[in-house]
Amino acid sequence: MSAPRPNPLPLSTPYPPSQRRAPVGTVAKPLPLIIDCDPGHDDAMAIAIAVARPELKLLGVTTVAGNATLPRTFENARRVLALLGAGDTPVAAGAAVPLVRPLFTAAYVHGESGLEGAEMPEPGGRVHDAGAVDLIAKLVEASPEPVVLAPLGPLTNIALFLRAHPELARKIAHISWMGGAIGEGNVTASAEFNVYVDPEAAAEVFASGIPITMVGLDVTHLARMGAAETERLDACGNRAGKIFADLLRYFLIFHRERYEWEFCAIHDAVAVAHLVDPDLVGVVHAAVDVELGDLARGRTIVDWFPQRLAERRRSAAADVAVSIDSARFADLLIEAIATFD
């Protein structure tokens, strides 16, 4: 009997080199951007990049229940806008619950308010009373250029917008979403928080045909800030730097207790930062499916292997982030915060 032949296939197929398909803003031609978020410490830092960088034109901010309940995420977004001197930015509250399932929040990460750790200013922003879906639709319709959506929480608002206004999908240039994971989740072994909260919404958005970049835990767990970065924020000498340093100190408590890390992962800010720096993250072109069952609820199944995709008659329609320049990210974020009063 002959010896068994070794399996010619590697246990893990290597990422093929892939060019990013997300647009990049420039000072000469800023990207029109709508942020949909559930603030959240890292959401606040993402908004700071969007307001500070001249390569982005922040059209509006919408909020969804996720890290905290909707009244809290809405208030938090308005407080962040006030802190950043962006009080004239349109802001609207969206979905208070996921499409199908009961709401699951992350008070264990962000505190009961969703933004614990700092004394925030009174809420600002120009409130759009007709809600998030209506605000997104009006901003997209009015924009002379296709708009980039940056959802930083569960995709409930984006799914509801696409249901209500399918005719506007053609005016969405790209979706840059923080969520999902190729590997291990952070709520369960299978699922990252944003997709775990509303997997049905995520499945609808990935099936919409709109170009999308998934910025998942595989990359955002490397977007690290710790004591040294906290000191740099304090050293900015402005109110924003002091408040973001305080927020970072609180955020570090969770990461120490849960992971025994001496740094925290600034997940959401990566989904905005890479829109101004094309070399910040590397991507692979892949098909992404969302698991809707109970055991692996919210798992993002990422497949980039050409033969398998051909057999499944699937295309590698999504960009999935697989690498990040962590030092470059920290510099970009701190420099953005340093620009404020």
What values do phi and psi take at 257, rounded to 5? -70, -35
H-helix segments, 148-282: 156-164, 193-197, 199-206, 217-220, 227-234, 239-259, 267-273
* Distance between CA atoms of residues 292 and 288, nearest Å: 13
- Can you tell me the distance from the alpha carbon of 99 to that of 321, in angstroms, rounded to the nearest whole number? 26
Closest CA to 23 of 34, 35, 32, 14: 32
Cα 9 versus chain centre, distance: 34
Residue 264: beta bridge partners? 225
Residue pLDDT tens, the chain, 341 long: 445 454 444 446 677 879 999 999 999 999 999 999 999 999 999 999 999 999 999 999 999 999 999 999 999 999 999 999 999 999 999 999 999 999 999 998 898 999 999 999 999 999 999 999 999 999 999 999 999 999 999 999 999 999 999 999 999 999 999 999 999 999 999 999 999 999 999 999 999 999 999 999 999 999 999 999 999 999 999 999 999 999 999 999 888 988 899 999 999 999 999 999 999 999 999 999 999 999 999 999 999 999 999 999 999 999 999 999 999 999 999 999 999 98
- Sorted by where each starts, the structural domains of the chain and their CATH numbers stand as 31-338 (3.90.245.10)
267 is catalytic: yes
Amino acid 32: pLDDT: 98
DSSP string, 224-263: EEEHHHHHHHHTT-SHHHHHHHHHHHHHHHHHHHHH--SE
User: Which residues lie across from 263 on neighbouring strands?
Assistant: 226
Catalytic residue, chosen from 41, 221, 267, 285, is: 267
- pLDDT of res. 2: 47
Q: For 278-311, b where at least 16 C-beta lie within 10 A, e where not — what string?
A: eebbbbbbbbbbbbeeeeebbbbebbbbeeebee
Amino acid at position 274, single letter: H
